[in-house]
Every structure is written in C-alpha cells, then in structure tokens.
Amino acid sequence: MQQITAQHFAERIRRGAAQARAAGFDALLIAPGPDLAYFADYLPVATTERITLLVVPVDGEPAMVVPALEHDGAAATRAADAFRLVDWSDGEDEYVPTSALMEPSGRFAVSDALWAMHLLGLQQKLPGARFEAISHALPMLRAVKDADEIDRLAAAGAAADATFDDILGARFAGRAEREVAADLDRLLREHGHSQVDFTIVASGPNGANPHHEVGDRVIAEGDMVVLDFGGLMDGYGSDTTRTVHVGEPTDEEHEVFEIVKRAQQAAFDAVAVGVPCQDIDRAARAVISDAGYGEYFIHRVGHGIGTTTHEPPYLVEGEERPIEAGMCFSLEPGIYLPGRFGVRIEDIVVAADDGAHRLNNTSRELHLVQ
Ligand code: ZN
Ligand code: ZN
Ligand code: ZN
C-alpha cells in the first residue's frame, strides 16, 4: 500500500473545489462525518455541539475551523498541510470566525452531516447566503476513488471474503439467525474491521424480504440463507452478499440461484467507462425478467461505497450519469419469492478503463452448508 500524504488530500480538495465551481457554488462546507474523513483525514472523536468545519472556497485557500481544545488532534492528521486551521475558544461566538471564511451572499454546498444547529447559526450570521445539501447538489463528489482508496476498499473486501470463508465452516441448522449474525460480526472484527454496519442473516421465508436484518428464527435443513454483511476497515467500507443452502437444494432453488448468478455476471459485464449507471441495472434486470422473475427483483442493482457503505453512484433506473474510472460500487441483483425464499449475490467492483474488477472474490456458486 502506498504512503498517503497531505498531497493526496490537497488533490481531493482541488477536485472537490472544481466540482463545486462547475456547479455554481462559492464554497463547500465540510462537516465531521464521511465527507471530513475524505477531505481532511479527520474524524474528531467528540463530534459535539462545538463546531468543526472545513471551508473549501472555489477560489482561495481552504481552512478548517476547530475548537481550540481539539487543535492538536486536527493538526496531527495526514492532511494537516492541505489547509490551515482556525481555532475558536469556549465563550466565543463560534459562528463569527466561521462565517468570516464565507462569502456573505454566497451559495454553499453543505455536508449532509452538519448539525442543523450549526447551519442555523451560520444562516443567522449570513442571511443573504444560500445553502444546499451536498448529496443533492454534488452527488458524485466522493464517487471517483483514488489509488489509495481503492487499496483500502480492496483490503476491506478481502476481509469480508475471509469472513465468508470462515462462516462456511459454521453450523447453520438448529441455530437462530441472530447467532450466525453474531459470528459474522466477530469474524469481521477479527479480520480487521473497526466497525460492523450490518450482518443480515435471512433464512427461508425471511430471505424474501431484502430488508430483513436478523431475527430469532431458527435455521432449518432445506433453508436458503441470505448472508449480507459489511462495515468499515481502515476508514473504508465492505459489503458482500452470498446465499447459501442448508443441505441439498431443490431444482427450483437451484434454478433461481443460477438466474441471479447470471444477472450478477451480466451487470459485471455491462460495467464500462462512459456507460450510464442505469444501464448496469438494466443489464441485470433483463436476465431476471427474461427468466420470468422480473416482478421479484424489487430493488436497484447497486450503490457506491467508500468512507460509507452506501453512497453515490446509485445504479438505478433514471440515473443517467456515466460510470467513470475509479468509481466503486456494489452489483447485487436478487430474486425474492414472498413467503418462500430469496437469493442475492453481491460483489463490490471498481470501474476501470478495461471494465470492472471485483473486490470480492469468494466463489459465486451455491454453497451447501450444514
Ligand atoms: Zn431448500
Ligand atoms: Zn450488502
Ligand atoms: Zn450493498
């Protein structure tokens, strides 16, 4: 893995400023959360009522407002040379130094995670300013990953793969979904995850509900079991799904599984730089519809992943923005038969000039478990 430096973050800030300029904004207002982790390598431990805000003007020098007592932490990140720090102390009106960095009648793209309290405080200081949510105004701000980010996503993917390989040795029949989910949580952490965001174990009829997380249902011989799990490792996300079967599957279960597998491959084959995001969804959907199961594929085919486990680009009908080299996203078609069972297969892939590369590489065959 290459050494990441302040230059990486300066480059991200430059790219962000260019996108903001192109969209007619005066500055980005980057708050603690995934945006600040991305631009400033900074996740303040205490995200509190005290404002921390990175102001990235489209012209001019970026600066981060920080509480004085958190100055040292902010100055110690790998991004610290990419912007200057502006301290404020308890007892001061924090919106004075913050608004001083902003154009009084400017137009600002604001991190989704900025506390409403702080946004209201800034609005009061700058009544002529206009604010818009970054996710709506600049959805692709963090969508194209650099080499360091792709390395981290690949490492997180490999850890999720190792987790899947380990869980195959676990007992399924006779245990509650909740117990298998606890195994997944423990294994993800053992393989290096600092945070587990979801451990879906959806057995039998529960598998037909893509939103089912986990419950007390006891897994039985003959069940299809959808396993969808992921979290953050070294600041970057993992998210993979495999569907396993307890004992021998029926012909119908096998057939449905094979259709989903072909749909997932069709999505993979459709990934190319310049292709509209919706075309990836269409490619998978065509396979499932042609096989007669179109009405049972009830969600988009994929979502981006980075400093969060769900973010743009969304691979969904109506999303016409093109795939760019460096975008990382899931491909996760499924078929959900109400009251019976479900199948989903999900890999994270990265788009490159020569097509897609998978960051999840466990077998996509139907695994039979005990
Ligand atoms: Zn079965
Ligand atoms: Zn998933
Ligand atoms: Zn996913």
The per-residue pLDDT for range 276-306, each reduced to its tens digit, is 999 999 999 999 999 999 999 999 999 999 9
Question: Which ligand has an atom closest to residue 210 CA?
Answer: 2
Tell me the C-alpha to C-alpha distance, in Å, between residue 232 and each of 34, 195, 305, 357.
11, 5, 10, 20
Which residues have a beta carbon within 5 Å of ligand 2, which is an ion? 228, 239, 241, 346
Between CA 183 and CA 219 the distance in angstroms is 14
Quick check: helix, strand or coil at residue 345? coil
Pairing of strands 27-30, 107-110: parallel
Strand intervals (E) in the chain: 27-30, 53-57, 63-67, 84-88, 107-110, 130-133, 195-203, 224-233, 236-237, 240-246, 302-304, 311-315, 328-331, 334-337, 341-344, 347-352, 355-358, 367-369
Q: How far is the CA of 224 from the centre of ligand 1 (A)?
A: 5
Q: How far is the CA of 350 from the centre of ligand 3 (A)?
A: 14
The pTM is what? 0.90
Rounded to 5 degrees, φ, ψ at 195 are -150, 135
CA 168 from chain center: how many Å? 25
Please report the domains of the chain, with CATH numbers, ordered by start residue. 6-137 (3.40.350.10), 147-369 (3.90.230.10)
pLDDT tens digits for range 61-113: 999 999 999 999 999 998 888 999 999 999 999 999 999 999 999 999 999 99
Give residues with Cβ within 8 angstroms of 84, minimum separation 6.
61, 62, 63, 64
Pairing of strands 224-233, 236-237: antiparallel
> Residue 47: its pLDDT value, please?
63
Q: How far is the CA of 101 from the centre of ligand 3 (A)?
A: 38
Give residues with Cβ within 8 angstroms of 110, minimum separation 6.
29, 31, 119, 131, 132, 133, 134
> Residue 211: its pLDDT value, please?
84
Between CA 91 and CA 93 the distance in angstroms is 7
Rounded to 5 degrees, φ, ψ at 302 are -175, 170
Asked if 280 contacts 287 with a C-beta cutoff of 8 angstroms, the reply is: no
pLDDT tens digits for range 244-276: 999 999 999 999 999 999 999 999 999 999 999
Q: How far is the CA of 161 from the centre of ligand 3 (A)?
A: 14
> Residue 6: its pLDDT value, please?
83
Q: Which amino acid is at 329?
A: F
Between CA 344 and CA 332 the distance in angstroms is 6
Cis check for the bond before 338: say yes or no (omega within 30 of 0): no
Q: How far is the CA of 292 from the centre of ligand 2 (A)?
A: 24
